Amino acid sequence: MQQSVEALRDECRQRCEDASDEASRQRHRIVYEHLERYWDHLFASPDDACRERTTNGLEGWWSVSKRRCRQRNGRKKLTREFRSLPAEFLLVANLENPAYVEAVLDGNLSRLAEKLAAAGRTAGSWTQWRLAQHPLNQGRLPQRLIRDDDFLTTLAMAYDDQCQQPAA
């Protein structure tokens, strides 16, 4: 790609000098000057850590992850699965990234248990975390309660116990 753009730049420079009419010379000069001005920003150097300048890799990884989830669960729509997973779940794939392992685990996966134990000391209880992730929806009763044969009787008794108390 870089060689093709370099050839275009050279061709525009040459035509800018050799063109017979002013309009053609002006068009080629605009392209040449634009390429010259931004040449250092068009291509990343081979040793640049940010060489990939698009999100294609990230989007490809996301697509592969969704495909695996569809195969595992057998469903086309993954909304339920993604809502049930904690946000931290997506960090698991980073363990395959050497730069992440180096930064977080000092380059050694055998220290993962030690790091998780250290994080767990200050993390609080699992129940607190779970409630923060999935707060109780108080406007909707669980299906298992609604399907109970004695649901209406239980509901009426709860109402009588709580709401029909004599005023003091």
Which residues lie closer than 8 Å to 81 by C-beta, 6 or more apart?
69, 73, 75
Tell me the per-residue pLDDT of 92-115, one tens digit each, with 9 for 90 and over.
878 888 888 888 888 888 888 888
What are the b/e assignments for 111-139, b being 16+ CB within 10 Å? Answer: eeeeeeeeeeeeeeeeeeeeeeeeeeeee
Tell me the per-residue pLDDT of 132-157, one tens digit each, with 9 for 90 and over.
766 556 667 778 778 888 888 988 88
**pTM of the predicted model as reported, rounded to 2 decimal places:** 0.37
User: What pLDDT does residue 52 have?
Assistant: 59
Residue type, 42: L
Numbers of helices and strands, H then E, in the chain: 9, 0
Using a pLDDT cut of 90, give the percent of the chain over it: 3
Tell me the per-residue pLDDT of 74-83, one tens digit each, with 9 for 90 and over.
888 888 777 7
Residue type, 141: L
Classified as helix, coil or strand, 107 is coil
Residue 165 pLDDT level (bands cut at 50, 70, 90) = low
